Chains A and B, each alone.
Chain A
Amino acid sequence: MSETATKVIKIEVLRYRPEKDQEPVWQTFDVPYTEDMSVLQGLQHIKDDIDGSLSFRWSCRMAICGSCGMMINGKPTLSCQTFLRDLAPGPVRVEALAHFEIERDLVVNIDPFIKTFEGLKPYIIPKEERKIEQGEYLQTPQQLEQFEQYSSCINCLLCYAACPQFGLNNGFAGPAALALAHRYNADSRDGATAERMEIISTEEGVWSCTAVGYCSEVCPKHVDPANAVNQNKVNSAKDYFLRFLTPRGGK
């Protein structure tokens, strides 16, 4: 920090220490801050100088690793990207990402996401095998645009904290997993759409979405997961009806 901290802001943190807390409790810290300090740096100050037991995830400090998502004043936000100066005079209320189980303090259990995500095969399964000598796969700018925004997802899971349907049912695949599944389905090089649609088309796939749309609002990378999910309601419905209309069941 270049300048000396002269101002102080109150940061209220929802603490949960499973070994001693029956349920989460609010704890307030007075944190000296400078103009360039993020909420994440405020938490780091608490951990380094006030209470070393405070737990939270972070890594890159520049909105690319997706580790430091939390509820800041009730909104799902990346704490590295949110500045204390903008929240002055405070207090700043910091809570673990909503809709996930709290593991400890600001650390949540993201297993529900990881499990669905794996199942959706978030990688390219080539439509046709190509040898190196055949050169690269070519795509037009329009083909690129079909999936590019969805590939910007950093798995920060702010969208899950913005999705009441996920909060009500942790079995719902949720915005990021479905956006990433769509990222591969929409890729002209990929050939595994049918496999992914088996999960996408289920009740706990796109059909649990009620188009709240807050997921797209909070996304720090402008992925617009709501758009990916809702495009696949159309695709899923097409799959469903086409099997009655076409001889080979729409395949």
Chain B
Amino acid sequence: MSNVNKTTSARRPYRRPMAGWWKRDPFFVRYMAREITAVAVAAYAVVLAVGVVRLSQGEAAWNGWLEALKSPLSLLLHLALLVCFVIHAQSWFEIMPKTMPMIFIGGERLKPQTITRTGWLAVAAVSVLVFVLALWWQA
């Protein structure tokens, strides 16, 4: 991007390499954690999509998929994915206030922490709702 005329100018601007840039600052590492955990979100979408496919293949296939979900390996995978989901959600809720237009309530600008907490509150509310529905369904 410089206008240096290589033959007539004494300028010799030095461009530093970017390799490994994300390891330079803990902030970048956290950013990469947000980006990489998106893979876990996609992976779980695949797990659920497989369930839908198995459901379309009949009762035996569906029950097979349900059993597979109960295997120790699957439980371990679920635990690992849950950790990834929490990291992913936390990092997005943290950045969420920066991605939104200013919100004014009663003439006061909404604080970033309030927006982040609202995100978690929504997660809590949806989780409780899903649990209640699941329990109600089983009963």
B16–A103 contact, CB under 8 A? no
Which of B10, B15, B22, B94 is within 8 Å of A164, CB to CB? B22
Known A-B contacts A101-B2, A213-B31; A74 and B24 likewise in contact (beta carbons under 8 Å): yes
A231 to B98, CA, bound (A): 8
**Cβ-based interface call for A58 (8 A):** no
B14–A102 contact, CB under 8 A? yes
A226–B98 contact, CB under 8 A? yes
Chain B residues near A212: list those with CB within 8 A: 27-28, 31
B97–A227 contact, CB under 8 A? yes
Chain A residues near B98: list those with CB within 8 A: 211, 213, 216, 224, 226-227, 230
Q: How large is the interface on B (under 10, 10 to 19, 20 to 34, 35 or more residues)?
A: 20 to 34
A231–B28 contact, CB under 8 A? no
A142 to B110, CA, bound (A): 13
B28–A214 contact, CB under 8 A? yes
**Cβ-based interface call for B122 (8 A):** no
- Offer 24 A-B interface pairs, CB within 8 angstroms, sorted by A: A18-B11, A19-B10, A98-B16, A102-B13, A102-B15, A109-B1, A111-B1, A111-B3, A112-B1, A145-B109, A162-B27, A164-B18, A164-B21, A164-B28, A210-B35, A212-B28, A212-B31, A213-B31, A213-B95, A224-B98, A227-B97, A227-B99, A227-B100, A230-B98
Chain A residues near B28: list those with CB within 8 A: 164, 212, 214
**Cβ-based interface call for A217 (8 A):** yes
Known A-B contacts A112-B1, A145-B109, A170-B1; A231 and B101 likewise in contact (beta carbons under 8 Å): yes
Using a CB–CB distance below 8 Å, which chain B residues touch chain A?
Answer: 1-3, 10-16, 18, 21-22, 24-25, 27-28, 31, 35, 94-95, 97-102, 104, 107, 109
- Closest A residue by C-beta to B92: A211
Chain B residues near A210: list those with CB within 8 A: 35
Q: How far is the CB of B63 from the nearest CB of chain A, in Å? A: 42
Which of A101, A214, A231 is within 8 Å of B25, CB to CB? A214
